[in-house]
Amino acid sequence: MNWRFSQLLLLLLCFDGPGGVRCQEEEPVPRNEVLGEPTVSCAADAIYVKLRTKSTFLGHVDVKYTPDKSCFQSLVTNNQIEILIPHEECMVPRRRSLHPTGVILEVSLSVSFHPEFTTVDDRIFNMQCFHQKKSNGSSNSLAIGSPQPPPPDTKGPSCSYEVLASPGGFPAGRLALGQEVYHSWQCQNVYVSSF
């Protein structure tokens, strides 16, 4: 780009009506950010999150991967954000845990400080709630066995495969395209394991 064209482009960008060229630099927007870690409360039917920001929050929050953006509630008061995420309405993903026994609920919360653009201070928080199964005093144990290996003197299976003209009949000789055939597999010396 030559110098005349760049000067013309600058004039066009800064021209403001018949009064002439007036190009002002915009004042920098003060940065905002989340202060500290969010406070998360895990209730039986919802996840409650509380965040504090450096200054008045003018952006938006979003719960990722929800089927409906109106399933959660958010309350913004100056520099505090409170979000209520119901498990059922927002279809919060669940995972079972065996040790310890319970359910893990996991949700991702996006905090954007500008209504339209991504900024350096935007954050995504991944939160997990663990609901442990109550012990009722009785234990249900399940015995899990392993199959026993075959005895060392056992030979491996010996199998054969044939194409037959009829079920249980003779092996098929010459065949025509589309002719019905039967497949036969037979194995001997098969070890059946039990546990």
pLDDT band at 25 (very low <50, low <70, confident <90, very high): low
Q: Enumerate the domain spans of the chain.
A: 32-132, 158-188
Summarised one tens digit per residue, pLDDT across range 139-158 is: 444 444 555 666 776 677 77
- By C-alpha distance, which of 83, 88, 133, 89 is closest to 108? 83
Secondary structure (H, E, C), the chain: CCHHHHHHHHHHHHECHHHCECCCCCCCCCCCCEEEEEEEEECCCEEEEEEEECCCCCCEEEECCCCCCCCCEEEEECCEEEEEEECCCCCCCEEEECCCCEEEEEEEEEEECCCCCCCCCCEEEEEEEEEECCCCCCCCCCCCCCCCCCCCCCCCCEEEEEEECCCCCCECCCCCCCCCCEEEEEEECCCCCCC
pTM: 0.55
Summarised one tens digit per residue, pLDDT across range 57-110 is: 988 899 988 888 889 999 998 889 999 999 999 999 999 988 888 999 999 999
Q: What kind of fold does domain 32-132 have according to CATH?
A: Immunoglobulin-like (2.60.40)
pLDDT the model gives residue 91: 92
